[in-house]
Each structure stands twice: as C-alpha cells, then as structure tokens.
Structure 1
Amino acid sequence: MAEPPGVEAALALLGRVSRMEEPLEELRALKVALQALPPAALRERGPEFPLAGLFALMGRGDSEQISLCVIILERFLQVMDPLYVIQHFGEELQKGLFHPDDEVKILTISQVGRIVEDPDAVREILITPELLRQVIYCIAAEKIAVAKEAIKSLTKVAEAPEGLEVLLVGNLLVDLKKVMAKSDIVRYRVYELVIGIASMSADSLNYCVNSGLISELIAELTGNDVLVRATCIETVTSLAHTHHGRQYLAQQGVIDKISNIIIGADADPFSGFYLPGFVKFFGNLVIVDSPQQICERYPAFVEKVFGMAEGQDPTLFGVGVDTLGILGSNLEGKLVLQKKGSRFQSVLNRIGHQAKNAPTELRIRCLDAIASLLYLPLDQQTEDLLGMTESWFSSLASHPLELFRSISTQPFPDLHCGALRVFTAIANQPWAQRLMIASPGFVEYIVDRSVEPDKPSKEAKYELVKALAGSKTVAEIFGNQHYLRLRAYLREGPYYVKAVATTAVEGAE
C-alpha cells in the first residue's frame, strides 16, 4: 500500500521542531501538513512520531507557540491507542495539569477522559492516582471550561466499578473535600460531579451517599440560606430524573421537605430567589412520575403553580405557565387540571391575555404551554376529552382562533412558529377543524407557502399540514378540494418551490 503523501514530511518537520529554539515557522507548517493527512495515516504510523519534543515546547514559549503545540498534539494523541498514550506520555500529561495555560489543561484532561474510557488503559491511571488527583484540583480552575472538562473526565472514571472505588473511597475523596473548601462555586461544582455519578446507577448512588457528600448537599438545600437553596435545587433535580434517585430522595424525606418549604414560602420575603427552582423540581417529577400521584401527595405544589400563574410577578408567572404546560402534557395531568374547574378556566384566560400582550419571551412560553395543554392524540379523543380541550381553547380569549392567527402573521419568527404550534396541537380535533373552515381565508393561509420566510417557519407550517392531513375527519369537514390541497402540500414537502417558468429545449419530446 502506498505511503499517504505528507507523512514523511510531517515526520521530518516533527524531528526538526523538537531541536529548535525558535520553531514557530516549522510548527505552523506542521499544523498545515497534519490537517492534510487522513486520521488513518496518522494512526498507522502514530508510534513513530516523536512527541516528547512537542510536549517540551508546549512547556515554554509564547502563546502562539503553546497554542500550535496544543493543536498538533491533540491531532496526534486523538488517533493513538489510549493505553499507549498513558504508558508513554503519563508524566507529560501530569505536567500539563500544572501548566498555566488553560488550553494545555483542557488538552490534558480530555486525554485523561479518553484513557479512563479504555478498560486496559484505565488501570494504569488507577494504580498511580496522582494524575486523577491533579484533575480533581482542576475542578477549582478559574476558567469554567477547564472545570467542566475535569468534571466530565472524573465522571467517566466513575463509570468503571474500580474507578468509583478509587474516586469516592480513600485519599481522592479527601482531595475532593479539600477542593470543595476553596469556594462556594467550587463546592457546587463538586456537588454537580457527585450527583452526575450518583445518577448512573443505584450502586453509584450508594458510593456517593457513603461519601457523605450527598448529605451535605441536602443539608444545604434545606438550610436557611436562600441563595444556596436556589443553587442546590438544580443539582438535586437532576438526581430526581432517575428512578433510584427519586426513591432515595423520597426515603430520606427530601421531597417532603421541599414541599414544606414551598408551603412556608408565602411568609418568606426572599422566596422569589428559590421558589422557581423548587416548583421546577416538582415539574420534573411530574414528567418522570405519575402526575396525579405527585399532585395528590404534594398539593402545595399545585396550589403554588396556580398562585404563580395568577400573580403579577412576571418571573414567577413564566415558571407557573411552563409548569402547567408540563403538567398538562399528558392525559393524566390534563385530568388533574380539569378538576380545578373554573379556577383553571380563569388561569387559561390569563395565559391567553399574556400570549397577546406580554414581552416576546413570555409570549412564546405561553404559546408553548397552550400547545402542550391542548394537544390530544387520536387514540385519546373521546367525546368528553374533546369537549374538555374545546372548552379550554374557548377560555383563552373571546375569539381564540383569530388571536393565534394574528400572532401567526407577525414578522417575528419565534412568535410565528409558536402560534403555528398551537394550531398543530389542535389540528387533529374535529371541533378545531370546524373553527378553521369557518374562519374566512384560514385554509388558504395554511396552504400558502409565500408567508413562510425561513426554515423554522416552513417546517412549523409543514407540521401543521401533516397534522391536518393525517386526521380522519378533515376530508369531511374541510371538503374534498381543500383536503386534496393539503395532501399535495404534504407530498411536496416543507421546502417546495413552484417553478415560475419552463424553457423549451429543441428536440425534446
């Protein structure tokens, strides 16, 4: 097999730069040469490339020299076997973690991440954990990109059972706790790491619980510092996404404590700092668990969501609307809301008003919540449920179809698409189709491609057409002519452009 062009040139350049005091020109040339080489060529000849000189050059020189060395080394190391990298460059990687340049640290930590994913290479790190110790201290780096790379690599370490043991039992756990003491920000980063590990499995969670770090997090969550509460709830919420995490939080009484804090929030003038996060916590529980059981067991959550949607604080209103959209996204949640009767109808009217009059970002959130609340899959369309969604739609405004139609014609893509999503949500429901056909020019608007100026708008309109065309009742309600236009639109796809003219070609048949 012929040698790919440029490999020998790269080898020669690499040999030269290692011996030079002023290697910038050669480094630039080497970077260009490597970019032209396919990864397979580098992988095949990888062990022949003498990288020690590059590591040495990366340890000195100006920022351009360091940056070039990082780019070149990353290209080489990425195609090398992780076991080879740790065996031949373990010492250089460790030095990289002490380097003052953040690019070097990120390169080094990303290589550690590669190494710990390899079942053979990870053992090399675990038997000499000094490298991992330095990665732990990188969690405290000033640059967030370095800290995030460190958290990512350490999370990968914990994916191996032996890595979990090394990281959360013994000396490295001591190092983790030392790093936590550096500042509040760093402490929350360690909590993020620990919860990320705990979310992997019940076994991982047990290690994290035994480390004592989860208990510390929960103590801060339920403590009196409102700003700490606001920060910790996001981390705890990610643990609640897993079944074993929810079980643990319930068994430890944490969910009850969060509910009690929500109950006491009315008497706390600073509750605005943490209340959105606490309500979002229950919103996430509703997504992964039974909405009815969550709402029955924690009525304070539902009461607070309604209070937010009825109140005047725009931040809390937005969270309330988002949460109602989540709660009503499935049938069980819709029935919970329906039981609220006229109170929910009143909240819907307020959401409809805000969809028309609030600042743009809040209007979009209202439109998304409305679409979520009104959507009803074909297999759930009983007479009672269709009557429910129709009454909800009617509660939004005196003329809701015209309200959303006016929003859909505005020259703001996000609002335009938000209104189209509302139409798409109700498109397969017969009552909505009757409203659409009764609205002058509405069907013409749906099949008019000229009003969709950009890709998201074209795709949103296509989803609406698809929802209508896929309904069993649309042909009867819209009539055959309109139905055929919808089918043609669907067949042509979202980006179809009608040819303006054709050119005759001499001799064409």
Structure 2
Amino acid sequence: MASPLDEMTKLLAGLSLGSNCMKTLESLRILLASVSLSELKDYAPKIDIDRIYKCLATSNRDQIDLTCEILKRILGTIPVGHALSKYEDLFLEGLAHSESRVKELIFQELQMAADDEQACEQLSTKMELLQSCLQAVGSDDSSIAGKASKVFMSLARQRSAASLLVSPPIVEEMRIVSRKNDVVRYRIYDILITYCCASQENLTFCEEKELISSLLSEVSTGDILVQLNALELITTLASCQHGRDYLERQGIIQKLARNLDEATADPLASLLVPGLMKFFGALAHFQPDVLARYPNFTNTMFNLIDDSDVSMRMIAIETFSFIATERDGKFALNQQGSKLDSAIKTIGALFTHAYNDVRLKALDSFAELIHIPSTETTDEELQKIVERWFHQLDSKPIQLVMNVTKQPFKDLRFSALRILLQLVPQIWAQKLMSQQPGFLEFLLDRRAEPDKDCHELKFNVLKKLSESINPEAAIWSDYCMAQMRDHVREGCWFARAQSAVAFESGP
C-alpha cells in the first residue's frame, strides 16, 4: 500500500496549471487532512512545495484560496527556521503577489520567525525579505500594513535583532517608506518607538541618527490629528525610565505642560486634552511626584472629574485610577487633600446617578483606588489611606455598593461585587459590613442574583469573608459565622429541596 508521501508525490507530479489544477489541489487537500500532524511533520520537508507555489500564478481566487490552505497546512509542520532558509525566494514571490490572501500567509510565517528568538536571528540576515516586508508597511491595505508592522514590532523587541533595525539598508528603506503619507510615517514611528523602549542603547542610536527627532517636533504642529498621534507615541516612550529621561532632557514634558494650559483655555485646542491627560497620567503612574511638579495637570484632572462633558469626565476618572494602581501613586494622591476628597465623593455619586457606561467607569476606577495587593496587606499606613477613601465615598458606603448590586445591568453588579471582594480582607471593612443591616442576608441569598458570573463572584465574597474572619476580633457573632460556614460548605449552586405534602381528595 502506497504511503501518504507517495500519494502526495504522485499528485504533485501530475499537478499542472491547466483545467485539472483545481481537481488535483482538492485531492491534495483531502489527503493532507487525512494525515496526522506527527506523520506530516515527517513528510513535509520532502514535499515539493515549489510546484504548489506555482498554482498561485492565477487570477482564479478559488484556486488561490485552496493553494494557500494547502501551503498553510504544510508550512505549519515545518520548523520556521528551516522554512525561512529553504523557501526564502518563494516568500519573496508571495510578498509581491497581488492577492492579500497570499501575503497574509507569508506574514504568518515571518511573524512566527520574528517571535522566535533563534529564528529571529536568522530572519535578521534576510535583508531582501525584510526590505520587502518593510515596503508592505506602506501598503494602502491597512490589514497588510498592520501585519507587516507587527513583524517589525516583534523584531524591535528582540535583543538578537537590535542591530538589524539600525542597519543602513533598513534605515534608508524606512526613510523612503515614511515619505508616502502621514499614516505610513506614523507606522514607522511606531516601530521606532517600540525599538527605543527596548533599551537605552537603542534610544541613543535613534537619537544620534535623528530618527525620532521629527516626531518630538510634531507635538507642536498646527494639525490636531498629527499632534494626537505624536502624543500617543510619546506616551508609549514614557513607559520606560530611559524614555522619560530623554523626554525630560529634550524639554518635551515642559512643553506639553504648557500645551495643557493652552488646551484647557482654548476651545479649539481642547481636542488635545484627552491625549495630554493620558500622557501625564502615564508619567504620574510611573513617577507620582509629577502630581507635585506639574500642578496644572493635577488641577486639570480633578476639575475634569466634575466636568459636564461626559467623555472628559471619564478620561479624568480613568487617569485618576491609573495613577492610584501603585502604592506610591496612592500616597501621592493622598497628599492632595480636599481636591482628592471631592473627587472621591463625585465618583461615589456617579455610582447611582449617571449613564451606565459612566457608572461602570466610576465603579472600576474606585476598585483600582482601594485595591491593595496581597504583598502589601500588612502595610498599615496604606490600609488607613484606603479606609479613609472608602469613607469619603458616601455616608453609608457599604449600603451604596450594595444598592448597585441590585441594578439590572449585569456589568454594574459585577463591578460592585468586585469592590466588596477587595474589601473583605480589611478588618475595618468587615466591621462596616457587620454593622450594615441586611448585608449578611444579601450574601446568603442565592436567589437574588440571576447571572452566573455575578452569582459565583457573590459566593466568593462570602467564601473569602468566612476564611478571613478572626474570631478574636469579635466582629461577627457565632451564629453569623456558623451561617457563613454552612453556606460555603453547601457550595455555590446548592438548592434546598422543597418538601411537599400530598392531601387525599375526598369522595
């Protein structure tokens, strides 16, 4: 009996570009589907892929799709480094093909190579292939351009490919491609910023070669869209310490602080406020002293939390909570006194007096504000800050959160329950829970929550509470603790059987 490889060889030998091509390809597809992955790994290196590639030289899209499906199946079993070496010419042909489906197949292979440390080093030597890929970054087809950009973004993060992106042929190709239009130029900037974030050495090279200097100048152009795009990339650069140091040296942070003053004063420039808030929010997340160094940003953030513009309010709340995700951010925010207290009260009011998307943003942001990582649960000073913030939320903060859990919108209920779950380990929070009328009954009621995810989260709140209770603290009565333990022992989906009494009917 002939082996699958013999059958494939026979089919490929008879493969031609005539009328029988589709029939032969279909037979080949069926045969490949019948072979196990382990078997195909043994056969794939011996398959004459060149003959299959020739079937792409057609305007028949059905034939192209079928050929790509077959090639994808075969290439998926060949080590990416091996495929890169053996089929470089075919990959080049594929990138030059008129059909996006073919390019996508090649980019899938290149992406796997770029993500693999060893194959990445090999890909770095394929200059013609990389230049062809870089040209695709300038494609009018945004899907193809995105895939090409992703390959270079992955290369930019690989230490073994660090020298590649600054090699003269690639740099020159970048300059050529970026001249096409603003959109393409920003795709190239995106690759370069990713490269700069990878290491100080990378950033130094780009600085010396003036590869990103024009980007810095574009934060002050008269084109709002260009400014916003530039701000987004500069915000990415600010995510690493050497990037922040570079922006400081270049005077960009000070310039953007002035831009923020102008943007809040000029209605036309107000379109820049979201981008500027995101930038300074990122800075303050990594360096909380920004709140003190740039009071115009801090004041703008707190003012926007009370703004009548819903979109501005949501951006400000999101920025506020992002700064508070880390311990140092919480401490820096806590220095803001009455401005902070007012902001928390406003967020608390939004729990029940706003559109659902705003309420959800307020709930999720407050969850970030009061989150204490498990590694910092013994930090008494941090606990005191979170306790103070929770009391600022409302005169009856537990009742406020409970009220949200009764809302019809599932995501609101889930977020409110998440807040309760984060509070459970805190002794002060348990005291508030024990003093809140109906709180334990609310947790014990399995019938009140119709959604599966919320039902399970509610059970987890009670389970974590029962595990966290310290009997010596005397917060909960013995009866309450017994109720909790029984509820947890019965499980999340326990349903008590209903007894029924049958009555005999009369004559």
Q: TM-score, normalised by structure 1?
A: 0.87
Are 1:406 and 2:403 an aligned pair?
Answer: yes
Q: Secondary structure of 2:475's match?
A: helix
Q: Secondary structure of 1:199's match?
A: helix
Question: Partner amino acid for 1:232?
Answer: A
How far apart, CA to CA, are the structure 1 residues paired with 2:476 and 2:486? 15
Aligned 8 A contact 2:341 2:392 in 1? yes
Name the CA shift for 1:458/1:26 in 2 (closer, same or farther; >3 Å): farther
Are 1:429 and 2:426 an aligned pair?
Answer: yes
Give 1:84 deviation, angstroms.
Answer: 3.3
Q: Secondary structure of 1:40's match?
A: helix
Name the CA shift for 1:41/1:377 in 2 (closer, same or farther; >3 Å): closer
How far apart, CA to CA, are the structure 2 residues paired with 1:338 and 1:124? 52
Give 1:94 deviation, angstroms.
Answer: 0.8
Are 1:392 and 2:389 an aligned pair?
Answer: yes
1:90 — aligned with what?
Answer: 88
How far apart, CA to CA, are the structure 2 residues paired with 1:470 and 1:268? 55
Q: Secondary structure of 2:313's match?
A: helix
Name the CA shift for 1:360/1:22 in 2 (closer, same or farther; >3 Å): farther
Which of 16, 19, 22 in structure 2 is aligned with 1:21? 19
Instruction: Summarize deviations over 1:135-180 as a string: whole Å, max 9, x none.
Output: 1111122333322221122234445667443432323212212211
For residues 226-375 of structure 1, the aligned pairs below 5 Å read: 226-287=224-285, 289-291=286-288, 293-375=289-371
Aligned 8 A contact 1:428 1:470 in 2? no
For residues 132-211 of structure 1, the aligned pairs below 5 Å read: 132-158=130-156, 163-211=161-209
| Larger mean Cα displacement after TM superposition, 55-64 or 429-438 | 429-438
Aligned 8 A contact 1:221 1:233 in 2? yes
Question: Partner amino acid for 2:325?
Answer: S
How far apart, CA to CA, are the structure 1 residues paired with 2:54 and 2:147? 23
2:504 — aligned with what?
Answer: none
Aligned 8 A contact 1:110 1:153 in 2? no
Give 1:45 deviation, angstroms.
Answer: 1.7
Question: Partner amino acid for 2:440?
Answer: V
How far apart, CA to CA, are the structure 2 residues paired with 1:447 and 1:36? 54
Name the CA shift for 1:254/1:438 in 2 (closer, same or farther; >3 Å): same
Instruction: Summarize deviations over 1:257-312 as a string: whole Å, max 9, x none.
Output: 2222223322222333221122122222333x242x22222222211111111221
Give 1:213 deviation, angstroms.
Answer: 2.3
1:504 — aligned with what?
Answer: none
- RMSD value over aligned CA atoms? 3.1
Give 1:223 deviation, angstroms.
Answer: 3.0
1:438 — aligned with what?
Answer: 435
How far apart, CA to CA, are the structure 2 residues paired with 1:344 and 1:123? 51
Aligned 8 A contact 1:83 1:118 in 2? no
How far apart, CA to CA, are the structure 1 residues paired with 2:371 and 2:118? 51
| Larger mean Cα displacement after TM superposition, 5-14 or 395-404 | 5-14
How far apart, CA to CA, are the structure 1 residues paired with 2:333 and 2:82? 60
Q: Unaligned stretches of 5+ in structure 2? A: 499-507
How far apart, CA to CA, are the structure 2 residues paired with 1:34 and 1:300? 65
Give 1:314 deviation, angstroms.
Answer: 0.9
Instruction: Summarize deviations over 1:214-234 as a string: whole Å, max 9, x none.
Output: 111111123332221211222
How far apart, CA to CA, are the structure 2 residues paired with 1:412 and 1:385? 32
Aligned 8 A contact 2:324 2:368 in 1? yes
Name the CA shift for 1:71/1:338 in 2 (closer, same or farther; >3 Å): same
Q: TM-score, normalised by structure 2?
A: 0.87
| Larger mean Cα displacement after TM superposition, 35-44 or 119-128 | 119-128
Which of 444, 448, 464 in structure 2 is aligned with 1:451? 448
Instruction: Summarize deviations over 1:458-501 as a string: whole Å, max 9, x none.
Output: 443244235423434477312233334444555666x5444859
Question: Partner amino acid for 1:342?
Answer: S
Q: Secondary structure of 2:222's match?
A: coil
Aligned 8 A contact 2:114 2:120 in 1? yes
Aligned 8 A contact 2:195 2:202 in 1? yes
Q: Secondary structure of 1:320's match?
A: helix
Q: Unaligned stretches of 5+ in structure 1? A: 502-509
Give 1:317 deviation, angstroms.
Answer: 0.6
Q: Secondary structure of 1:449's match?
A: coil
Percentage identity across paired residues of the two chains: 29
How far apart, CA to CA, are the structure 2 residues paired with 1:123 and 1:383? 50
Aligned 8 A contact 2:8 2:31 in 1? yes
Which of 43, 53, 56 in structure 2 is aligned with 1:55? 53
2:97 — aligned with what?
Answer: 99
Name the CA shift for 1:34/1:267 in 2 (closer, same or farther; >3 Å): same
1:31 — aligned with what?
Answer: 29
How far apart, CA to CA, are the structure 2 residues paired with 1:210 and 1:490? 63
Instruction: Summarize deviations over 1:381-408 as a string: whole Å, max 9, x none.
Output: 6777656544433433343332321211
Name the CA shift for 1:264/1:466 in 2 (closer, same or farther; >3 Å): farther
2:503 — aligned with what?
Answer: none
How far apart, CA to CA, are the structure 2 residues paired with 1:35 and 1:273? 54
Give 1:127 deviation, angstroms.
Answer: 5.0
Give 1:430 deviation, angstroms.
Answer: 3.2
Instruction: Summarize deviations over 1:210-253 as a string: whole Å, max 9, x none.
Output: 34221111111233322212112221222222222222222322
